[in-house]
Structure 1
């Protein structure tokens, strides 16, 4: 007797359903539903509330934190020029982190119940419902937890390059600024109407990732690392050559 395949009921809370899809989860989650109305994740109202984040919460919460870390480096003796260079370095490193997270973690292949469930919460929901504006940016509580290991990484990188201890806060602040830019740009690419050529390119580049080739085009703020690591979609390679 052949077991009946599991079917997700979109009228019910989704999070504890998707794990039952097993191997079929990857195909299901990459068939987007284009609607501005997001699905319900949890039956519990408190958990459901915690999954929703307005985009402007990201700059409102994190830009003051960025400033605090930058000022910390200045007070510890770093010059304004040194701090400016550290901020730029932090933004640059963030673009690589952004690419690696998106490619190797957010698009990891899963099959088991809990792995599918975790992946759906982390990134799968965004691919299934790409126009859900309240589940596009990273929830601040989760971002706060990740600040600790990322600050440790900033200290490690600055120590490895023989930079003074005062360099780590500004470098970390630059990385956080890169993250804020990433989340705001990501939201704009889904819900904005770009007028500049660069913004139009980024929107086309990202929508290509969602609706055409979801295994390529992992950058958000830049296609730099896709070019370097050979994951730029073929259509965009052709357009770059023609330009």
Structure 2
């Protein structure tokens, strides 16, 4: 992916690292906030879910509007190739299924500092924790959809949803940790024009995930 040896190594990450790094750090941060009276259990119960929801929106927007934006020049196409294009070319590269630390550490630091500057740690501290937990959930589920056989109907549906994005409709199915964002915004499933053509010919629509490489 990179000719530079450092960048090549830094772009790879074991899928367990986000969990092992960010979960203890955020639990410690939350414990520090609760023990020091900087936040409360009630605010944590409210703002952690809000942070999780914020990540879901961030995940969808980043994937749809940044990762799949190629621009018109060689620089923007190169950015796309590094950010997401490589993953679509080599979706089973197990070392590049979670975001590398050279991306997540600066991004999480920027978000954390920005929220601290808001000046309301009682709300912003658990809100930040929720965002990070949402990210860790996303990265873990993304790895699992590629490298684990789902055992539940929900897991199979999520995997079919994401595999369809990779191998059938890369311009649809942008939700990775969820499918409801695509349902809400009308970007899920098959392309509308394809469904209309099949209906006009009287063809039965294929089952979700049919013809998609496992």
Instruction: Determine if the TM-score, normalized by the shorter chain, exceeds 0.5.
Output: yes
* 1:124-163 per-position Cα deviation (integer Å, ceiling 9, x unaligned): 111111111111110112111111332255458x77xxxx
In 2: Cα distance, 1:78 partner to 1:100 partner: 29
TM-score by length of 2: 0.83
Q: Could you tell me which residue of structure 2 aligns to residue 139 of structure 1?
A: 100
Contact 1:69 1:172 in 2 (8 A): no
SS at match of 1:234: coil
In 1: Cα distance, 2:48 partner to 2:90 partner: 34
Q: CA deviation at 1:167?
A: 1.3
Matches within 5 A, 1:1-243: 41-74=1-34, 75-152=36-113, 154=115, 164-234=120-190
Q: CA deviation at 1:72?
A: 3.5
Runs of 4+ in 1 over 6 A off after TM superposition: 237-240
Q: CA deviation at 1:234?
A: 3.4
Provide the alpha-carbon RMSD of the alignment. Answer: 2.2
**5+ residue gaps, structure 1:** 1-40
**5+ residue gaps, structure 2:** 196-204, 209-214
